[in-house]
A and B are shown apart, each in its own frame.
Chain A
Amino acid sequence: MTVIIDKKDLKKKYKKVAYYPGCALEGSALPYDKSTRAIGKELGLELVDVKDWNCCGAMEVKNIDPQVETYLSSRVLSNAQHKNKMDVVMAPCNGCYKNLKQAEHELGHNQKSRDVVDKISKKAGHETYESGDVETIHALDWIKMGYGEDELRKKIKGGLKGLKIANYYGCMYTRPRNIFPEKAPGAGGDDLIKPHYMDDLLAVAGAENVDFALKTACCGGAHTLSDRDMSTKLVLNILEAAEAAGAEVIATECPTCHSGLEMHQIRALKRMSKKTNVKVIYFTQLLGMAMGLSARKVGLNGNISDSRGLMKEKGII
């Protein structure tokens, strides 16, 4: 089914959204949370935390029982709808974003899933979520469609001053493709094969985006505990691809990818004597600094990859 996005009402619709940080943004990805909230405030976009939110099921639950995972994600959507009275949920984490979209798709296409979710929801004592009641968007949609590039341009102060950036979207922002009907060709959303929303926003902020061949390639995130060497090799390849493309920074929009890139960059040096210099920064941090927010306000000091020297050298902070 092709869904054509009606862009004209999105600015109004996305001005105030339910915010689902998920577990990563309250832990390892605190700088992503901090910078997302900071730029929302700066742009006048209101975030209301989903009340009593729970884990989306992440990558683990589906291997035991995918219908429980569908339920977990549906509960987040149900809470946003019934407890927050909202009809849009913004999830900055690719894993959460993908799982909420997957639940939406499952509930729209699978009677068995609907039955299981209804049964567990009743047992848990809350309203059953029904497909179509809440829209799930990513932080990239939120800014690109809810604020817009023209308006964003007016907010840029120092800008990113030609900072060379490789935009890394990871594997879950566009896959599996059937759960993202708004990204289908002609639907008006981001591109399934070559996503560009992050490129667009950072270009407005003054960055020079490099042609990055591995922008949606696997970072080995799911293997980071079970086979660390493989994750390190995959990450090292991504870092080397970014450097070969001339990038000084890899911009990220997924906390799993981000922490994987940071940690395995260090591990590649320690275990494989492979040094890479490219810095890893959340796109929200980059946008915030471009708008004149301080490094502290966007949590730059909270990143493992220390980019403060480069940002000073470039005159960005």
Chain B
Amino acid sequence: MNSQKMRSVKELEAYMDGPKPDMNPIDQAADYLLVGEEMLENWLTAQERIPTQDKKEGFRILALHRQGCKGEPSFNACRETCRELAYYYNLITLEPDSDEMSSRLRMMDIVAKHLVLFIGNKMMDDQVGEFCCSAKVNRLNNEQLQERVGVKNG
């Protein structure tokens, strides 16, 4: 599952805010997964990194998330959001006749939107970001810290 042309963050935000095109549920689920992947691709390319084509546990979104966390532990704040997308994708595709199809699609829509909001906000906020509470500043060594905050410790 790889996009031909990655949509921008703005396009993805607008897409998630608007009505979705008519699709069958399986395609819709795949589309939500793709939205997640493209947001992660945006995150990675903003840092001049090449998004992986690998998969983790059968999902590219999980491999992309893991790649996105390298050097940026605060990005783990969306780890479970990515996992939930994969979880709902599995539910929808493995049980296509389920009575819960519409509620599962609704949940996948909300989860995908959360991922779009979270990553979009991080990219806007931090010139690749630092707002959350498990931020990477805690992991930097002293020299990196001095460079970052512009003051000497000790």
Contact = CB atoms under 8 A, between A and B. Distances in A.
Interface of A: 59, 62-67, 95, 98, 102, 106, 112, 115-116, 119, 171-172, 175-177, 193-194, 213-218, 220, 222-223, 226-227, 230, 233-234, 237-238, 240-241, 244-245
A171 B110 contact: no
The binding surface of chain A is classed by DSSP as: helix
Contact of B121 (A98, A227, A238): A227
B76 interface: yes
Nearest to A65: B153
Contacts of B132: 171, 218, 222
A24 to B, nearest CB: 13
Interface string B74-110: 0011111101100110000000000000010011001
Given A222-B131, A222-B133, A244 B125 contact: no
A87 B97 CA distance: 55
A176 B134 contact: yes
B111 A62 contact: no
A223 B76 contact: no
The binding surface of chain B is classed by DSSP as: helix
Contact of A234 (B80, B103, B114, B137): B114
A109 to B, nearest CB: 11
Interface residues of B, number: 36
Contact of A177 (B76, B106, B131): B76
B154 interface: yes
B87 to A, nearest CB: 8
B88 A213 contact: yes
A296 to B, nearest CB: 33
A118 to B, nearest CB: 12
Given A116-B154, A172-B133, A218 B110 contact: no
Interface of B: 73, 76-81, 83-84, 87-88, 103, 106-107, 110-111, 113-114, 117-118, 121, 125, 130-135, 137-138, 142, 145, 149, 151, 153-154
B29 to A, nearest CB: 14
B54 to A, nearest CB: 21
When A and B form their complex, which 10 residue pairs have the shortest distance between CB atoms, in order from nearest? A176-B134, A213-B84, A241-B110, A175-B134, A171-B77, A222-B131, A230-B121, A237-B114, A216-B80, A218-B77
14 contacts: A63-B135, A65-B153, A172-B133, A176-B73, A193-B80, A214-B114, A218-B77, A218-B118, A227-B125, A230-B121, A234-B117, A237-B110, A240-B110, A241-B114
Contacts of A220: 121
A108 to B, nearest CB: 14
A114 to B, nearest CB: 12
A123 to B, nearest CB: 12
Contacts of B76: 175-177
A65 B110 contact: no
Contact of B145 (A66, A227, A245): A66
